[in-house]
Structure 1
Amino acid sequence: MREVKIRPESPNDILTIQTVNTAAFGQPNEAQLVNKLRENATHFIPELSLVALMNNEIVGHILLTTNKIVDATGNEVESLSLAPMAVAPFLQKKGIGSQLVQHAIEKAKQLGYHSIIVLGHEKYYPKFGFKPASTFGIKAPFEVPDDVFMALELTTDALKNVAGMVHYPHEFMEV
C-alpha cells in the first residue's frame, strides 16, 4: 500500500471531494450534504474537512461538523457529527478510511472538542472507541437501530452527565 497523506481540504479540492463521495456512496446525496454543510459557517469547521491523498490524488474524505445534544429542559452541549466518510471504491477496505477516522479524532481533540456522534456501521466504528449513544442517554432525532447510532468521548467522562436528543444542522435533513 502506498503512503497516504491526510490534510485539510482546500478550495481546489471541492470538485474531487464531490466525485469521491458520489463514487463511494453510488449516488450524489452525501456529496450534496458536504457542499451544503461547507456553506454553513455555524457548523462547518475547515480543519475537520479532511482529505486522504495517494500520489497527490484525493482518494478519501471525512467531515466532522458541530451539532448540539439537547436535554428535556433545553440545556445544550456541543458535540461533533462524523458524516460522511468516503473512500474511492477501488481503494476501500485498505485502511484509508481508518486513517481518516483516526486523524479526524486526533484533530478534533487538538481543537478542544469533547465528543463525536456517528450513524454508521456497527462493526466498523467501535474499533475507534465508539459505543451505542444510548449508553450515554443520547438519542437520534429519527428512528434508527441502537447499534448504529454511536458516540465517542474525546475527553474522559465528556458525556457522563449529558443526555438528550442530537440536533443536527438542518442540512442533514435536506438531503
Structure 2
Amino acid sequence: MKRIVVQRAAPKDAYDIDDLLRTCFAQPAEAMLVKQLAMDGDLVLALIARDEASDAIAGLVALSKMHVAIGGDPAPAVALAPLAVMPDYRRSGVAAALVTAAIEQMRDAGALLMFVLGEPGYYGRFGFSSESAEGFDSPYAGPYFMALELQGGLPCGPRGLADHAPAFAALAETDP
C-alpha cells in the first residue's frame, strides 16, 4: 500500500500541480482556473497528497474565496474546486484524505461554509448537502450545488449571495 501524506502546496509544486490537473481533466480549464485563482489572490488553500516513496504528487484540492451573505452580512465561506487525483492513485482514499484535511483546516480557520459543485453521492459522505446550499443566490444552484456548515450552524437571516471567485466565470465559459 502506498503511503500518502497531505500537505500544503508550496510554490515549488506549481509545475507538478499543473501537470496533475492537465492529466486529470480532458481540457486545460481547471489548470488555468487554479493559476488564475492564485494570480487574483483568491486561492485560500491548496493541499497536495504526496506519495512518500516516490515523492510524486498523487492529488490536489484547492479552496478559494467566496462572497457569501446571510442576513445581509458577509459570511466567511470557501469553494472546494478542483479536486483531482492521478489515475494510479484513484480509489485508494487520496481524494477522501484531501477533502477531510481541507474541511479540518477551513473549520480551524473559522470559515462558516464550504461549497462544492459535485456528485451528491460522493460529497454527501463528508456532510455536504444541497439543503445546506438552498436559498443562496448562485448560478450553480441545483442538486449538485452543495454546502457544508463548518461551525455547527449558521447565523439567522435570509440567505443571499454565494458568489465564487471571478476566475470561475472564465471556467464556465470554456465548458463545452
TM-score normalised to structure 2 length: 0.87
Q: Which residue of 1 aligns with 2:49?
A: 52
Percent of residue pairs bearing the same amino acid type: 30
Q: Which 5+ residue runs of structure 1 have no aligned equivalent?
A: none
Please give the alpha-carbon distance, in whole angstroms, between the structure 2 residues aligned to 1:31 and 1:80. Answer: 19
Shift of residue 117 of structure 1? 0.5
In structure 2, what is the Cα distance between the partners aligned to 1:23 and 1:70?
Answer: 36
Q: Which residue of 2 aligns with 1:147?
A: 143
8 Å CA contact retained: 1:136, 1:162: no
| Residue 107 of structure 2: aligned partner | 109
Q: Which residue matches 2:28?
A: 28
| 1:70 CA displacement | 3.7
1:32-89 per-residue CA deviation (whole Å, 9 max, x = no partner) reads 1001001122x222xx210000122111000111101246x85432310000010002
Distance 1:159 1:97, change over 3 A: farther
Kindly state the Cα deviation for residue 92 of structure 1 after the two structures are TM-superposed. 1.4
- Tell me the distance in 2 between the aligned counterparts of 1:84 and 1:58: 15
Compared CA separation, residues 28 and 111, structure 1 to 2 (3 A): same
8 Å CA contact 2:34–2:43 kept in 1: the answer is: no
- Please state whether the residue corresponding to 1:39 is helix, strand or coil: helix
2:109 partner amino acid: L
Where has structure 1 moved over 4 Å in runs of 4 or more?
A: 133-136
Residue 155 to residue 18, structure 1, CA distance change in 2 (3 Å): same
Query: C-alpha root-mean-square deviation of aligned residues, in Å?
Result: 1.9
- Counterparts of residues 84-99 of structure 1 (less than 5 Å): 84-99=82-97
* Paired letter, 2:153: D
Q: TM-score, normalised by structure 1?
A: 0.88
Corresponding residue for residue 172 of structure 1: 168
Could you tell me which residue of structure 1 aligns to residue 13 of structure 2? 13
- Within 2, Cα distance between the matches of 1:29 and 1:61? 15
Residues in 2 aligned to 1:115 and 1:106: alpha-carbon distance in whole angstroms: 12
In 2: Cα distance, 1:75 partner to 1:122 partner: 28
Residue segments in structure 2 that go unaligned for 5+ positions in a row: 172-176
Structure 1 pair 18–135 and aligned structure 2 pair: CA distance change class (3 A) = closer
- 1:160 and 1:127, CA in 2 relative to 1: closer, same or farther beyond 3 A? farther
Q: Distance in 1 between matches of 2:18 and 2:155?
A: 33
**Between 82-91 and 152-161, the greater mean CA deviation after superposition:** 152-161
In 2, distance between residues paired with 1:78 and 1:96? 27
- Aligned amino acid, residue 167 of structure 1: D
In structure 2, relative to structure 1, the CA distance for the partners of 1:74 and 1:127 (3 Å cut) is same
Aligned length: 169
C-alpha contact 2:24 2:86 (8 A) present in aligned 1: yes
